[in-house]
Amino acid sequence: MSSALESKLEMALANLQRVRLGVDNTPLEHLPRFSAALDGPQVWIKRDDLTGLAFGGNKTRMLEYSMAAAVERGADTVVFGAAVQSNYCRQLAGACAKLGMTLHLVLRSEREIDRTAISGNNLVQRLLGAHVTVLSDNDRDRQQEMIAAKAEALRAAGHNVFVPRQDDTVDLDVIAYAESALELVRQCRQEEIDPRYVYVCAADTTQTGLVLGLIAVGSPMLVKGINPAFKKDNEKRMAWTANQAADRLDLDVTLTAADFDNDDSFVGERYGIPSAEGMAALRLLAQTEGILTDPVYSSKALAGLVAHIRSGALPPHEPVVFVHTGGAPAIFGYTEEMVAALEE
Ligand SMILES: Cc1ncc(COP(=O)(O)O)c(C=O)c1O
């Protein structure tokens, strides 16, 4: 039976503007062969890789709320930037195609090959119609300056430009994951499981929203965020955006940095470079359950879960949930690393 707090969150979500881009209510599935291979707790997976838009992933949910703001503002053009193999940019390209907006992407190269190769997400976003500029390095400050300059130039030429993930809309991305938390709580009840931990690949809004949603509905589930990059005050920012989202939803909760458990010990060499543990975890899930993760994000989070099961940190009698945030198209942008992993 749904609690009053769950109904309150559900109604607050229903009152927000939203554009339909994919599917929500993604399945919660049991992973019997993966669990048996690890000889630990029963692992369940929340299939947010199946959200549908342009190969799916966690950003579909976020774009349904943030692109509603773009539509409301009358935007005809979107400017954004991230890494060449960004899943956000791939899904944003899908959203822009569906909404009839022009997308300009300014992307930074994390690896030498990113400067020239058109593969994986960087192929898909072009097929979806994005105009792509690839920078020759990964200087984030220079990238931000170029994004701002591009947006200014397009405005001067008469376009109505929307730049997503700014301070006035980033809480909409958080809200999308509060919704995923609500689904998860209800699905666990339906499956009659009582997990203590939810593992997820998260640097930012995904974990923020999951934690906000779980606290807002009074769930005791705890989120273990595994960061794909080295942290810089991430928990502080998570608390800030969570409270901004709580305000927008009129929820009676205030979060602090201490509410966020975010672990960057599974990054490996650095962001954007696959890790040996991640590749091993990717193969294990693929070969026991037929589910693919990606080399940069979800496989590193899966590696965290595998390590914690193997070390005995997760008791075998308590089920655990892994939120699959998607990203598998990046496999085709990391072919060399993938082939090398096959030989290990
Ligand atoms: C597949 C995948 N998982 C997880 C994340 C992390 O999401 P967030 O930055 O909202 O925490 C990303 C971000 O791009 C992603 O592409």
- One DSSP character per residue, 104-141 reads EEEEB-SSGGGGT---THHHHHHHTT-EEEE-SS--HH
Q: Which residue matches tokens 């707090």?
A: 5
Tens digits of residue pLDDT in 51-106:
999 999 999 999 999 999 999 999 999 999 999 999 999 999 999 999 999 999 99
Write out residues with Cβ below 6 Å of ligand 1. Answer: 57-58, 87-88, 201-207, 294, 297-298, 325-327
Q: Which residue matches tokens 């190969």?
A: 55
323 strand-pairing partners: 46, 200
Q: Single out the catalytic residue among 7, 35, 66, 86.
A: 86
Domain 4-57+169-343: top CATH class: alpha beta
35: annotated active-site residue: no
Tens digits of residue pLDDT in 148-171:
999 999 999 999 999 999 999 999
DSSP letter for 63, please.
Answer: H
Q: Record the tokens describing residue 14, joined without a space.
A: 């229903």
Q: Are 205 and 177 in contact (CB under 8 A)?
A: yes
Is the pLDDT assigned to residue 1 strictly greater than 80?
no
Tens digits of residue pLDDT in 180-233:
999 999 999 999 999 999 999 999 999 999 999 999 999 999 999 999 999 999
The H or E element containing residue 322 is strand 320-324
DSSP letter for 83, please.
Answer: B
Residues of the chain with CATH 3.40.50.1100: 4-57+169-343, 59-162
Q: Record the tokens describing residue 188, joined without a space.
A: 């666990």
Substitution site in 201, 204, 226, 235 for ligand 1 pocket (most atoms within 8 Å of beta carbon): 201
- DSSP strand pairing (222-226 vs 197-201): parallel
Q: What are phi and psi of 52, to 5 degrees?
A: 100, -45
DSSP output for 178-196: HHHHHHHHHHHHHHT---S
Domain 59-162: top CATH class: alpha beta
Q: Distance of CA 216 to CAs 159, 160, 191, 246, Å?
A: 39, 36, 21, 9
**Rounded-to-integer distance, Cα 31 and Cα 28, Å:** 10
- DSSP strand pairing (77-80 vs 161-162): parallel
